Amino acid sequence: MSAADFHKLAGLFPNETVTHSYVQDIALPGVDGQPSAGTFALVTLDNGLDHSKPTTLGPNTLVELGTVLEGLKERAARGEIVGVGVTGKPYFLVAGADLSAVKSVSSREHGLWMAQLGHDVYATLANLGVPSFAFINGLALGGGLELALQSTYRTVSTTAGALALPESFLGLIPGWGGVYILPRLIGPENAVKVMIENPLSNNRTLTGPQAYKIGIADALFEPADFVEQSLTWAARVLAGAETPERENAVDPSDPEVTARWAAAVAAGRAFVEAKTSNASPAPAKALDVLEANRTMSQAESAQLECETLAVLMQSDEFRSTVYAFLDLVQRRAKRPAGAPDRKLARPVGKIGVVGAGLMASQLALLFARQLKVPVVMTDIDQARVDKGVGYVHAEVDKLLAKKRISPDAANRTKSLVTGSVSKEAFADADFVIEAVFEELNVKKQVFKEVEAIVSPECILATNTSSLSVTAMAEDLEHPERLVGFHFFNPVAVMPLLEIVRAPATDDAVLATAFELAKGLKKSAVLVKDAAAFVVNRILLRLMGEVTAAFDEGTPAEVADNALRPMGLPMTPFTLGAMVGLPVAQHVQESLHTAFGERFTVSQNLQKLIDNGVKSIWASSNGAAEKGADGKPFIPAETLALMSFGDSPSTAEDVLRRTQDALAEEIGLMLDEGVVAGPEDIDLCMILGAGWPMFLGGITPYLDRVGASERVNGKRFLAPGVASAPALAPA
């Protein structure tokens, strides 16, 4: 590619938020009493915006950085500078490639240009004629970390958070040199962990100290004077007084390393299969490049990386991931569709929780930790109350032991949570939520008792997972004060809150619920009061289809593994055991009552429940046991409880049947106005059920496999929203 091609590419992105490259000449300090070693050029990457707007690498940014580096290369040739450093604005080195720009690349040719542009700029940094240094002062993701890797030396701050190569998670590969440099720098095993295992494990990242420990960085400094310390260290390196030790670095031609390399790639492939069932092409492609480049030059690897990136940029999986990550999790979740004006929200200074069981105790802990307001739990006797408060205190002690909170914060949190056997304790509460048994009459009775005690302005909330909020409000004097506030388990971990608006729920109540969700650091989605709302309705339709196929005579292994091509976080039978068969059956019965035969109630599951069996598969301490062949099995005594039909299905039949059922159910949900649009369905499934990002949630997947059109006659999303654009040039 020529410079003209790069400028042509940059011209396609006139709205890019450019990260500028600012150069400052610095006289390096002398070493061991010697005079200054010379002039050092420090490049600071900064987009001129505050910390809420991370620096990113788009085509215009890369062209500017490349121009600056070419100028520094010329200065180095003239002997004007002895070294070059790159650092970032506060809290960031670089947050990676500009995903909006990458997503808008509409042809393979332009994708190839984008990949080659990054390599061209980074190659200049790696070949300046003088040593280069990356001072990793903050977050460094993807192309940002690869920029550091292309430098000769690296320092990192002890407080630098989120160092990672997340491309496998995003549907790409570390294609600006990371896949080549990293295994040679830190060993193939560590490289697979950083490039494959961490991204596919909820996008795990490294801290500064962790990056230093495995050898990504050569030196570790405190944040207060990080740049000054890094410059002093750079001066010592340039003077020969400091030589970084890279204990994990390897030579790929070493026969021992060759064996390690092959083993690391094999382990990575097994991990990808276990995590995604190879439903996303990117992780396997990253491993393909890693496997191939062991015997390649860096230039040969760069060509392979560019070609691979160009293909992946046009894949539906990458488009779906960017849709899920950028359009939904980063944007829509922060501006919930249908949420009332936040100015209508009422202040909440005290919270009541009805119940002191596990869910209620988790809620009390979350409210106290995040909102820092008094929380009072009630239950029918003192023993239950004491157990609930004791749970909160024990969880706080665990956080303290792990040093995740300070002693002062621990004491404050404990003091905020109290218990009572009388609902009179709610008299001055502003918000009361019930977390009692999932039975409508029980919940109605609770709200009747609470309403008689609380103030007229107090908001009442239910954590029901499937029951009608409207029915709960029928006997209230002020039904407008009741709202659904549905958390997912475990409460501290799952980021979704389904906020349920019943017909009578008023805007002030709803606005307060959304503000509370924000204070709790949860992502809220507004849903209509319909049985099981969004996540549970979809999951139970899915589980119902698989269970029905099993009951009809499909072998358990076939039925339970039929959905593996979807790359879901767990199989239906495993999910049922985790949720609890009685709970799943109860929700299924509610859905059957509401929607009829679309939600079949399995008599086989009921027999297991009646006999105290907790899982279809043999299990021990909640984990599935394996038979002599290494596979899960159903105990003979469990099989004896069940009866089966004589109409077995193939795995392909079960998969297609489930796809079509999900397309039907989501189509009906959208027709009913359960949520504002398919985007909210996807957001709910990603945040509430751990649905894979590379699927884009669920509707892009159903569009991709044709189920949407088979069942509903149309796609849920237009081509290009979460898929490759229609009629994109070859």
Contact partners, residue 533, CB within 8 Å, separation at least 6:
465, 466, 484, 486, 498, 500, 527, 674
Sign of the CA dihedral 392, 398, 403, 406? positive
Which distant-in-sequence residues (6+ apart) come within 8 Å of 617 by Cβ?
556, 560, 573, 574, 577, 624, 625, 632, 633, 634
* DSSP alpha helix (H) spans, 40-107: 59-77, 99-104
45: tokens are 């990457």
Rg (CA), the chain: 28
In this prediction, residue 726 carries a pLDDT of 59
Tell me what the mean pLDDT of segment 608-621 comes to. Answer: 90
What is the reported pLDDT for 52?
86
pLDDT digits (tens, 9 = 90+) for 311-331: 999 999 999 999 999 999 999
Residue 86: which region, alpha, beta or left (left: phi > 0; alpha: psi -120 to 50)?
beta
Token duo for residue 340:
């009332």
pLDDT digits (tens, 9 = 90+) for 440-486: 999 999 999 999 999 999 999 999 999 999 999 999 999 999 999 99
pTM for this prediction? 0.90
Residue 7 has a pLDDT of: 76
* Residue 517 token pair: 């969700």
DSSP state of 350: -
**Given CA atoms 234, 237, 241, 242 in this order, what sign does their dihedral have?**
positive
Tokens representing 568 are: 């879901």
Q: What is the DSSP string of 90-144?
A: TTEEE--B-HHHHHH--SHHHHHHHHHHHHHHHHHHHTSSS-EEEEE-SEEETHH
With 80 as the cut, is the pLDDT of residue 106 above it? no
pLDDT at residue 729, as a whole number: 39
- Distance in angstroms (rounded) separating the CA atoms of residues 380 and 344: 35
Cβ atoms within 10 Å, residue 77: 12
Whether 101 contacts 59, CB under 8 Å: yes
Mean pLDDT, the chain, as a whole number?
A: 94
Local structure of 249: helix, strand or coil: coil
Phi, psi of 606 (to 5 degrees): -65, -40
Q: Tens digits of per-residue pLDDT, 192-228?
A: 999 999 999 989 999 999 999 999 999 999 999 999 9
pLDDT of amino acid 267 = 98
Q: For residue 730, name the pLDDT band (cuts at 50, 70, 90).
A: very low
Q: pLDDT band at residue 620, thresholds of 50, 70 and 90?
A: confident
Q: Which residues pair with 153 in a beta bridge?
A: 133
Q: For residues 142 and 145, give the distance between their C-alpha atoms in angstroms, rounded to a whole number.
A: 5
- Is pLDDT at 724 greater than 90 in this prediction? no
More confident residue, 9 or 216: 216
User: Using N-to-C axis directions, what is the helix angle for 382-401 and 358-371, rounded to 10°?
Assistant: 50
Q: What is the pLDDT of residues 278-313, one digit of tens each?
A: 999 999 999 999 999 999 999 999 999 999 999 999
Q: Which helix (H) or strand (E) holds 590?
A: helix 581-595
Please report, rounded to a whole number, the percentage of residues in the chain having pLDDT higher than 70.
98
User: Are β-strands 619-620 and 623-624 bridged in parallel, bridged antiparallel, or unpaired?
Assistant: antiparallel
- Does residue 4 register a pLDDT over 80? no
Residues in the chain: 730
Question: What is the model's pLDDT at position 35?
Answer: 81
Q: What is the mean pLDDT of residues 491-498?
A: 95
| Structure letter (DSSP) for residue 84 | E
SS3 374: coil
- Are 188 and 264 a contacting pair, CB within 8 Å? yes
Asked whether the beta carbons of 305 and 180 are under 8 A apart, the reply is: yes
Q: Examine residue 490 and say whether the peptide bond preceding it is cis (omega within 30 degrees of 0).
A: yes
Model pLDDT, residue 161:
84
Which pLDDT value is given to residue 727?
A: 44
pLDDT confidence bin for 728, thresholds 50/70/90: very low
Structure tokens at 176: 């600006």
Q: What is the mean pLDDT of residues 699-704?
A: 96
- State the pLDDT confidence band at 34, using cuts at 50, 70 and 90: confident
Token pair, residue 606, equals 């009921």
Q: Dihedral of CA 279/649/599/595: which sign?
A: positive
Q: Is the pLDDT of residue 15 over 90?
A: no
Cα–Cα distance, 287 to 290 (Å, whole number): 5
What whole-number distance in Å separates Cα of residue 408 and Cα of residue 386? 23
Beta strands 496-501; 482-486: pairing state: antiparallel
Q: Among 5-9, 57-61, 535-539, 703-707, which stretch is predicted with the lowest mean pLDDT?
A: 5-9
- Would you say residue 595 has pLDDT above 60? yes
The number of angstroms, rounded, from the C-alpha of 152 to the middle of its chain's C-alpha atoms is 32
More confident residue, 316 or 511: 511
User: How is residue 339 annotated by DSSP?
Assistant: P
Write out pLDDT tens, residues 428-442. Answer: 999 999 999 999 999
Give, rounded to a whole angstrom, the gap between the first and last alpha carbons of the chain. 18
Strands 351-354 and 431-434: parallel
Give the model confidence (pLDDT) of 658-675 as tens digits.
999 999 999 999 999 999
Grade residue 623 by pLDDT with cuts at 50, 70 and 90. low
- State the amino acid at position 410 in one-letter form: A
Residues 6+ apart with CB under 8 A from 173: 167, 179, 282, 285, 286, 289, 305, 308, 309, 312
24: Cα separation from own chain's centroid: 37
- Tell me the sheet residues that pair with 431: 351, 459
Between 606 and 619, residue with greater pLDDT: 606
Give the model's pLDDT for residue 1: 57
- Flag whether pLDDT at 82 surpasses 80: yes
**Span 332-351, mean pLDDT?**
96
Contacts of 146 (CB under 8 A, 6+ apart): 118, 122, 165, 174, 176, 177, 178, 181
Q: Convert the pLDDT of each residue in 147-188 to its tens digit.
A: 999 999 999 999 998 999 999 999 999 999 999 999 999 999
pLDDT of residue 366: 98
